[in-house]
Amino acid sequence: MLCRADKELKLVDGAATDFANKVLAPNREEYDQYPFGQFWDGVVKKAFDLGFFHLTLPAELEGMGHGLAGLSVVLKSICAQDASLGGMLFTNAMAQEILLAAKAEKLLEEKIVKQEDVYKFLLAFPAFNNPSEVRHVATVTKSKGKRLLSGDVQYVVLGGLSAYALLPASVEGSKDFSFFLVDLASKKVSLSEPIFSLGLHACPAVDITLDKAPAVLVGEEGAGKKYFDRVADRMAVAQAAMATGIMEGCFAEALAYAREREQGGQKIVNWSEVRMMLANIAIQAKSAEMMLSRACEAVDQKQPKWEAAARVAAIQACAYACEATTDGIQVLGGVGYMKDHGQEKRFRDAKQIQALMGIAPMKKLRHIRSILEKR
């Protein structure tokens, strides 16, 4: 449905679905063991070769130019099987979008887009925080015309992998913040061990400590909030896509199990309370898909009030995904709680995804605030 009649997007969707089913699903448990197991380097490189990290970049920046609809199609299919890769795609795309919003195409061209090594191409970014809400920002000072960052920035996703990070920082005492591109190989930058998190284990994050680390200003000074808010509204569609994909994977696994497992002398799919749980998951997944489809259309066509469509889709799809994955384990009973099935990972990942770009209730307040300000 998301693909509409766009043949190119259908091809992208086909490639993503094939990749998710053949590469991600069979080894889901193994990949999820990170940081206590091996990092899925080969998978990330394959995803890079397939262009999944180039989806939203415009063609003039050597991207695929598929916009958010293209990213959403891929995220939905990928997250149905393993949302950790979705987290990597999301983080990288969000950082790219902020650079584009700040009209920093030149910076992207110089430092990022021509890179042939995936880890030099990927951008690290603190994707789970809205710096206007909780101020995890570094402090910026100027010295001999150069900008230097100091302090801690927490939970920088892809920070342990990427060559560059896009980090928020502000001048001491200022309420505004700006974004800076920081070379993570600098001796003035130190990285923590990978953070052990609730979900998206193979999409690692680190805490970053900066000690007068050289940094390049992205866009205008003090305009970080403007860029973040604008991009957050666009990326809400991608967040909704991730939640929708998780629900679709959850429903498929719950249904397959219910058709096989017997209880009380019959398949459990024939017990009406189990059917009710399956119905709830199916309704939530379908509702999310319809909202997502509408939001993609609104955002890509820049329709009036596209921001509202995107925000509502993300808030509601994430809430549905948290409920659906809770029931998704329940349909499988004890088996669903074990790591050799996909449901427990979807349950953790759905909750983690709900926290992308800030605190969940604050997103609702931001939505009503935007309505109130317009009237």
Partner 1 sequence: MKYKPCTPDHAQCAPNLNDVAASLAFAHQTPAALIRETREVVDLARKFNREVVRPYALELDRKLHEDPDFLPWEFVKKANEWGFYTMWLPRLFGGKGYFMHSMSAFIEEVSSACLSMGNLIGVHYLGMATLAATWNAPLLLKIFRDVAAGEKAGDPRIISLAITEPGAGTDVEEPDLIDKGNITCHAQKVDGGYVVNGTKVFISNGHVSKWHVVIAYSDLDLPSQNTVCLLVQTGQKGFSFGRHEKKMGQRACPASELVFKDCFVPDSMVAMDSEQIKGLKKDAKDTFQQVLDYVLGATRAGVAAFGTGVARGAYEEALAFANETEVEGKLLANHEWAQCMLAEMYKNVCIARLGYVETNHHNASSGIYKSMLAKPAFYFIRYAPEFLVQKVFPKLLGTDATTRALRKANFDNQTEEEMNRTSGWGSMAKFSGTDLGMKNCHMALELMGQAGLRHDQRVEKHFRDAKLLQIYEGTNQLNRLNLFKCLVSGACPQSCVFHDS
Name the site residues for partner 1 (rule: CB under 8 A): 29, 36, 126, 128-129, 132-136, 154-155, 175, 195-199, 262-266, 270-274, 277, 322, 326, 329-330, 333-334, 336-340, 344, 347-348, 351-352, 354-355, 358-362, 365
Q: Smaller CB distance to partner 1: residue 21 or 263? A: 263
* Min separation Cβ 343 and partner 1, Å: 9
Closer to partner 1 by Cβ: residue 52 or 228: 228
Question: Which is closer to partner 1, CB of 117 or CB of 193?
Answer: 193
Cβ 74 to partner 1, closest distance in Å? 24
Shortest gap between Cβ of 321 and partner 1 (angstroms)? 12
Task: Give me the least distance between CB of 100 and partner 1, in Å please.
Answer: 24
CB of 360 to partner 1, least distance (A): 4
Residue 49 or 262: which CB sits closer to partner 1? 262
CA distances, 162 to each of 15, 120, 368, 370 (Å): 25, 6, 36, 35
Our CB check for partner 1 shows the closer of 156 and 291 to be 156
CB proximity list for 61: less than 8 A, separation 6 or greater: 105, 108, 109, 113
Would you say 143 or 272 has its CB closer to partner 1?
Answer: 272
Nearest CB to partner 1, comparing residues 104 and 235 = 235
Here the tokens at position 278 are: 């399956």
- Rank residues 68 and 277 by Cβ distance to partner 1 and give the closer one: 277
Cα–Cα nearest to 295, from 315, 322, 268: 315
Are the CB atoms for 141 and 212 separated by under 8 Å? yes
Residues in the chain: 375
Convert 219-257 to b/e letters by CB count within 10 Å (16 or more is b). Answer: beeebbbebbbebbbbbbbbbbbbbbbbbbbbbbbbbeb
Distances (CA, A) of 51 to 18, 66, 86: 14, 11, 14
The minimum distance between CB 342 and partner 1, in angstroms, equals: 11
CB 4 to partner 1: min, Å: 33
Q: DSSP label at 125?
A: B
Residue 332 burial (C-beta neighbours within 10 Å; 0-12, 13-18, 19+): buried
Closest to partner 1 by CB, 116 vs 340, is 340
Whole-angstrom CA distances from 128 to 51, 80, 92, 157, 205 are 24, 21, 13, 8, 10
**Cα(10)–Cα(185) distance, rounded to whole angstroms?**
39
CB of 325 to partner 1, least distance (A): 10
Smallest separation (angstroms) from partner 1 to the CB of 365: 7
- 46's enclosing H/E stretch is helix 41-49
The closest of 88, 101, 3, 104 to 39, measured between CA atoms, is 88
